[in-house]
Amino acid sequence: VGDEKNEKKFQAHSVILRARSPYFKRALSNDWARKEDGSTVFTKPNVSPAVFEIILK
């Protein structure tokens, strides 16, 4: 999350996020995300880490 100068990685349970949020259901779909080393990864360079942390809560 964030741009090159202000980037942060977050770890969260994708099953819980998908179940509780229409946004994450879409964001973690194959259209927006990719699988990497057994994890689902998606990037959001246009969202700051501080804002994304609030979204996760």
Q: Which of 18, 13, 38 is nearest to 28 (CA)?
A: 18
Which ranges of 1-57 would DSSP assign to H, the alpha helix? 14-20, 22-27, 49-56
* Contact residues for 23 (Cβ-Cβ < 8 A; gap 6+): 55
Digit-by-digit pLDDT tens for the chain (57 residues) are: 888 888 888 889 989 999 999 989 998 888 889 999 988 898 888 899 999 999 888
Q: What is the pTM of this model?
A: 0.70
The pLDDT score that the predictor gives to residue 17 is 92
Which pLDDT score is estimated for 37? 92
pLDDT recorded at residue 49: 93
Whole-number pLDDT of residue 2: 86
Phi, psi of 11 (to 5 degrees): -120, 130
Name, in order, each residue with C-beta under 8 angstroms of 47's C-beta and a sequence gap of 6 or more.
1, 2, 55
